[in-house]
Amino acid sequence: MTKRRSLSDVVNQELTDPTPAAEPEATTAEQSEAEPEPTAKQPTAKKSKPKPQAKTTPHYLTLVRKETRLKEEQFDELSKLSRQLNRQRKSTGGKRSHAEGNRITENTLIRVAIDLLLSQSDKLEGITEEELRESLLFTP
């Protein structure tokens, strides 16, 4: 029975494991004696070099997975906000085209909120969630 793998594991493996090159067949001493090596360089057909395809890792695979528990209201508001922001991008085109950036998800907004929290970490005070929240929202 094979172990089920997640899509991210498969993609990571394909991006990190180079495709094995075909190994040349081993020649034995008898074969090398029977076939003399060519002395003159024979003309070969010019091969066009294939354009290198950059294997870029999808953005979500560059992130560390961390599960969190949200209040239902928080998740609902995050979902509404992400949909609203994506609609704005599509309708107005924004400063950049829709194709240039990643889709805005609830996780995107959570990462932005974490960045904001960390930038204000010197203002954090308290030992409860409520005290921590108040220390950021109501600065004297």
**pLDDT of 77 higher than 90:** yes
Count of Cβ atoms closer than 10 Å to residue 113 Cβ: 11
Give the integer Cα–Cα distance in Å for 3 and 63: 24
pLDDT of residue 101: 73
Helix (H) or strand (E) holding 13: helix 7-16
Of residues 110 and 8, more confidently modeled:
110
**pLDDT of 98 higher than 60:** no
pLDDT of residue 68: 93
Span 76-82, average pLDDT: 97
State what percent of residues in the chain have pLDDT above 90.
41
> Sign of the CA dihedral 96, 99, 101, 103?
positive
pLDDT of residue 133: 92
Residues 19-50 pLDDT 10s:
555 444 544 445 545 555 555 555 555 555 65
Q: HSE-up of 108 (CA within 13 Å, CB side)?
A: 12
Q: Which of 21-35, 61-75, 100-114 has the lowest mean pLDDT?
A: 21-35
Rg value, the chain, Cα: 28
Nearest 10 degrees: CA dihedral of 90, 96, 100, 106? -60
pLDDT of residue 59: 85
Question: Domain-by-domain residue ranges, the chain?
Answer: 71-94+101-137
pLDDT of residue 75: 96
This prediction's pTM: 0.55
